A and B are shown apart, each in its own frame.
Chain A
């Protein structure tokens, strides 16, 4: 199986889906000539032309609104919002329009848009280019929210998202683009709403999202040397959430640590903890422990931006805490 980067996996998903269905088109800032900041859409303009790869002005509301209108007409746009921080400009179109049309039309209109974007720290981009804002979307009825952590997952999930008839917020992580992983040459899809056990273990369940999955796996590796067996679960889709996989794991281990890069308060980490408590409280031998980003704007210097979000050390400490 070839090893490719997360960014290359996105590029492959794009190509396969745009070849399969000419109604799939890409719209965003610098998606064409430039080929996306991380190379995710490199070469697509050459292959598909400006009808299917649309460089748009820096106008996120127009980009998102245009996608919503054209999706309601049967096209299948993939919107690229360069940084999730910029999605604030397009929130009206996503929340008040994309998420509402299916229900308002009594099921007659579908809005098959993928809003692809990326968040998190890792590029020394400071507080308006590094946030983790996924929580907002999980709370909106009518939206599906996806956060893939590996090249294999991002390709399979992006292809499924493009084929799905719902508006989908598809959140990547800037620190994941250069990461590598095995991706099969033959076509595959990963269903939305299905979690993945990234590492099996027996002592504690670590539920982590996006880039935090990598930190959780590193923590698990370290702890294994000390004889502690961690199971790492990646929800992959935040809504609809695969409660079954999560709770089966917690029932097995009896202990649970939840990890998100976003701050804890009012966030998805609380949702995960609550799902565990509502569904398998009897299995818990210790309260659920959360490991989340500090409640701060992301600082600029390289060492500091990483110091305010969880890493394998924070996670390992939390695991030891619930095992104590």
Chain B
């Protein structure tokens, strides 16, 4: 990979991290209300995956969608505004931090664990029928792999060879439940075998590995041999939601160990080793900071929807 491309990935990962941290602060001020699920630690997954697809491709995400959405192309302004419940948000402030649709960006997410796996199959069915080689990426967590929707959706997608890359973002916890206690199968990608799929596990802290695995999965789908199944092993640096009682289910030592594997630090090291000038990286970070501060300030100025606006579009007029 060229340093230029790697730098572009770095910028996006850094932006998503800082976005997450700013949202966390806003959550502590109760400006971001409930349903904020932080993404810090998992940036290599969202960015690596979305770097392997185009603007014409589709993404179905989870209750932890901010990193995926920005990686797919949603603007920080529109996601900040959504987090804050304001007009100008991707769902005009009525969706909030865990369910929105960014239609122009071909991005869907929702807060029911697992069901996106079935919806993604439908999006892929339409793409398959269209025959232009477009694909859908479906993110879901380790917890979702226990749901009926996982089994049903994978069954249908595999039977009909639908062009979906199923991307299991294994961040080690389903809420407070450790994956080793609640998923009776290690590695999790072994589950794919029962649908006749290969099932690949990659290091989710390594953006290059995620990108390479996703590129292979996307190529397989574009060639008509979908779906693909990838498990990216990663870690949620913060709690399940912003401000959860983390100490009840994991130790600071465990978190510290994983923080050492921070995907952003790792990529920064890689860039420096490749001879990229540290000052250039610092400048890029400063530029991101400025962009986010501006986006946040803009979002905070946006109005909340009125009751009339919040209850629009419930139904298409008959």
Contacts and interface: CB of A to CB of B under 8 A. Distances in A.
B156 interface: yes
Contact of A71 (B108, B122, B151, B159): B122
Interface string B111-133: 01001011111111111010000
B155 A57 contact: yes
Contact of A73 (B101, B117, B123, B155): B123
A73 B126 contact: yes
B148 interface: yes
Given A92-B112, A104-B100, A69 B318 contact: no
B313 A69 contact: no
B91 A67 contact: no
Interface in A190-246: 191-193, 240
Contacts of A181: none
A96 B110 contact: yes
Interface string A79-97: 0000000000100110011
B120 A69 contact: yes
A110 B110 CA distance: 16
Nearest to A50: B160
B31 interface: no
Interface stretch (A58-66, A114-122, A266-274): A58-66
B122 A74 contact: no
A141 to B, nearest CB: 5
A70 B314 CA distance: 20
A109 B148 CA distance: 26
A70 B60 CA distance: 13
A63 B94 CA distance: 28
A75 interface: yes
Prevailing SS type, chain B contact patch: helix
19 contacts: A61-B153, A62-B156, A65-B121, A68-B118, A69-B121, A70-B125, A77-B122, A89-B148, A93-B115, A93-B118, A97-B119, A101-B101, A104-B91, A106-B103, A107-B313, A109-B103, A164-B318, A166-B315, A240-B318
Interface in A166-189: 166
A141 B313 CA distance: 10
A69 B91 contact: no
A50 B119 CA distance: 20
B47 to A, nearest CB: 24
A165 B314 CA distance: 12
Contacts of B115: 61, 65, 92-93, 96-97
A254 B99 CA distance: 48
B156 A59 contact: yes
Contacts of B127: 73
A69 B149 CA distance: 14
Among B91, B94, B101, B148, the one with the most A-chain Cβ atoms within 10 Å of its Cβ is B101
A126 to B, nearest CB: 24
B152 interface: yes
B224 interface: no
A102 interface: yes
A141 B316 CA distance: 12
B73 interface: no
A74 B103 contact: no
A66 B122 contact: yes
B92 interface: yes
B95 interface: yes
A10 B99 CA distance: 36
B103 A108 contact: yes
A238 B210 CA distance: 50
Given A66-B122, A66-B156, A164 B316 contact: yes
A59 B99 CA distance: 25
Nearest to A108: B103
B318 A193 contact: yes
A51 interface: yes
A57 B156 contact: yes
A62 B149 contact: yes
Contacts of B129: 51, 75
Nearest to B92: A106
A101 to B, nearest CB: 6
B312 A103 contact: yes
A65 B92 contact: no
B123 to A, nearest CB: 4
A174 to B, nearest CB: 25
Nearest to A95: B112
